[in-house]
Structure 1
Amino acid sequence: MRRVTSITLISLFLIFSGRINAQELKFGHANIQEIMRAMPEFKEMQETMEAEYDKLENQLATMQEEYQKMEQDYLQNAETLGALERQQKEQQLMETSRKIQTFYQSSQENLSQKQQQLRQPIMEKLRDAIDEIGEEGGFIYIFAENSGATVYQSDQSIDVTEQVKNKLGIN
């Protein structure tokens, strides 16, 4: 009899504690893109990236102009050049073309690395603010609203976008 009473009491405790915990679960969501666009660090990153892109684009344009001049010079004088000289000019054109392609590819890689490098501290700061909001508000989860991962959002989910912005000192 004692065993049955103990089992019953434990069962009731688990059932009621489960109901209490289920009622206390808090879920939130935040519009990460909106928050990032409002962060001054993100705006600085964009300006830095645009300046870097412009610089590389100008270098590439200069290289392409030089190549076009070399090509025009070759085409205008090809008939008057000897076979060896023509072959050297053609080889020089191919090497210049390869250099331009290599420069373009390395520029793309460098831009990507630079963006990742600049974005990492911004994401860490954002993540820290969301973590603080989560801990302060007693949230179980805070989902990224526009990440594509949320398939259902209840009215009970709390939008913490403004709280995160306030934590970051932006609005």
Structure 2
Amino acid sequence: MNLIKNLIVGLVLMTATVASAQSGLKFGHVNTQEILSVMPELKTIDEQLQAEYTQLETQLTDMQQTLKGLQQEYIQKMQANTLAPEERSSLETQIQEMNNKVQTFYQQSQQSLQQKEQELKTPVFEKVTNAIKDVGAENGFLYIFEEIGGLTVYKSQKSVDVAPLVKAKLGIQ
């Protein structure tokens, strides 16, 4: 199955190369990760996310300390045989509830950070995608391939790296 897929991709590329040579069609490539890495917007977003992560981490650490305190109290009282059955039950319930709170907070924090990251970064990704599309349309490219992520099957010396054009479109130097 892979062999057939590779043969088809090869034939498509050979056809595209022949068509390109005959009609002057242009193919380009771009490394969007490299472009994104120099965008000031992403640096600002990463700083915001790091600040939020630090705040959530502090809250989680405080909750874990409270849980640890309850657990230590329980152990000390059990070892000293000073726990009445109702106090033991009460402490066990408190420990279980606090443990649940810690786990829930952790899961919700992870989800919240992921949502916030997606919310903040999506417009930046769209901005880069639109700039690539504009560069393609303005410069007559038939295709622009992503260089990273295995999407580029072949890149000849004639393939044009459009990253400088995209950066210029975005106002990045």
| Alignment TM-score, normalising by the size of structure 2 | 0.84
Instruction: Give ranges in structure 1 of 5+ residues lacking alignment.
Output: 1-17
Q: For each residue in 1:63-82, what CA deviation from the matched residue of structure 2 results, as whole angstroms up to 9, or x when unmatched?
A: 00111111111111232010
Q: Could you tell me the percent identity over the aligned residues?
A: 47
* Separation in structure 2 between the aligned mates of residue 116 and residue 122 of structure 1, nearest angstrom: 10
- Which one has a bigger Cα radius of gyration? 1
Which residue is equivalent to 1:66?
Answer: 66
Change (3 A) 1:19 1:50: closer
The amino acid across from 2:155 in the alignment is Q
Which residue is equivalent to 1:33?
Answer: 33
Q: Which of 98, 102, 107 matches 2:109? A: 107
SS in 2 for 1:80: coil
* Separation in structure 1 between the aligned mates of residue 75 and residue 156 of structure 2, nearest angstrom: 69
Correspondence 1:144 to 2:146:
yes
Q: For each residue in 1:119-142, what CA deviation from the matched residue of structure 2 results, as whole angstroms up to 9, or x when unmatched?
A: 110011101111111011100111
Residue 44 of structure 1: how far off its partner (Å): 0.9
Aligned ranges 1:18-29 → 2 under 5 Å: 22-29=22-29
* Separation in structure 1 between the aligned mates of residue 27 and residue 149 of structure 2, nearest angstrom: 16
CA-based RMSD of the aligned residues comes to 1.6
Residue 21 of structure 1: how far off its partner (Å): 8.1
| Alignment TM-score, normalising by the size of structure 1 | 0.85
Which residue is equivalent to 2:51?
Answer: 51
Instruction: Give ranges in structure 2 of 5+ residues lacking alignment.
Output: 1-17
* Separation in structure 1 between the aligned mates of residue 123 and residue 20 of structure 2, nearest angstrom: 39
